[in-house]
Each structure stands twice: as C-alpha cells, then as structure tokens.
Amino acid sequence: MALTADEVRYIARLARVALTGDEVERMREQLSNILDHFQALNDVPTDDVPPTAQSLDLANVDRPDQTHPPADREQVLANAPRRENGFLRVRAVLEA
C-alpha cells in the first residue's frame, strides 16, 4: 500500500501537524511500509464477529451528581501560553 506525497500532506492537514518536505518523504516511506504489514488482518475471517472497543463488561457507568468546588482559576491558567484578564487568549478565528 504505497501512499503518495499528496496523501501524506492531506493526512497531515487533517491532523494539524506541520511537516517539512523531508518529513513528508520519510513519512511516506515509513507509513507505506507499516500499512503493508496491516494486510495480515485480511487473513482473519471476521464476517460474523462483533467489534470490541474495550475489554471490560462495564457499560453506562454513572455516579451521584454532586457538586464540587471548581479548580482554582489562577492554577488552571498558570500553564497557559497566552492569557489576558483571567482568560485564555486565542487568535481571532474569524478574520475581519
């Protein structure tokens, strides 16, 4: 399963990961090689087999709906790259 450079750039765009030209080529080779090995799955018949998302029998776990004090704002913002007046600062999403 050989990926093209355009396909690699498309996946990188979906993943929001900027790649250099060298990285695109290396990623193309390495991902193509890994995808080849995935063909092994086609040898396993699974026509009537349900999928497993996780290995536990638990479903719909709930707990009492109790209030708790929220995390302290200053602590939460201490790791923020950009902040202003007690808020996270982000770039404008819609350009003027």
Partner 1 sequence: MATLDLDVPAHEHAARMRAGDYTARALAEATLARIRAQEPALHAYVTITEELARAQADAADARLRAGDAAPLVGIPVGVKDLLCTRGVRTTASSRMLERFVPFYDCTVVERLQAAGAVIVGKTNLDEFAMGSSTEHSAFGPTRNPWDLERVPGGSSGGSAATVAARGVPISLGTDTGGSIRQPAALCGILGLKPTYGRVSRYGVVAFASSLDQVGPFGRDAEDVANLLGAIAGHDERDSTTVPVPVPDYTAGFARGLAGLRVGVPEQFLERGLGPGVREAIEEAIAVFEHAGAIIDRSVALPTAGAALAVYYIIAPSEASANLARYDGVKYGFAVTDGASVEAEMSETRGRGFGSEVKRRIMLGTYALSAGYYDAYYLKAQKVRTVITREFESAFAEHDVILTPTSPTTAFRLGEKLEDPYAMYLNDLFTIPVNISGDPAISIPCGFADGLPVGLQLIGRHFDEATLLAAANAYGEATDAGKASPAALP
Residues interacting with partner 1, by CB under 8 A? 8, 11-20, 23, 27, 30-31, 33-35, 37-38, 40-44, 46, 49-56, 58, 61, 63, 71-72, 75-76, 78-82, 88, 90-93, 95
Which amino acid appears at position 35 of this protein? Answer: L
Given the complex with partner 1, which of 2 and 35 has the nearer CB atom? Answer: 35
Cβ 82 to partner 1, closest distance in Å? 6
Distance CA 77, CA 11 (A): 32
Smallest gap from Cβ 2 to partner 1, in A, equals: 13
Asked if residues 41 and 16 have their Cβ atoms less than 8 Å apart, the reply is no
Compute the least distance from the CB of residue 70 to partner 1, in Å. Answer: 12
Name residue 84's beta-bridge partners.
87
51 vs 86 by CB, closer to partner 1: 51
Closer residue to partner 1, CB minimum distance, 2 or 80 = 80
The answer to whether 73 and 86 are in contact (CB under 8 A) is yes
8 burial (CB, 10 Å; 0-12 / 13-18 / 19+) is buried
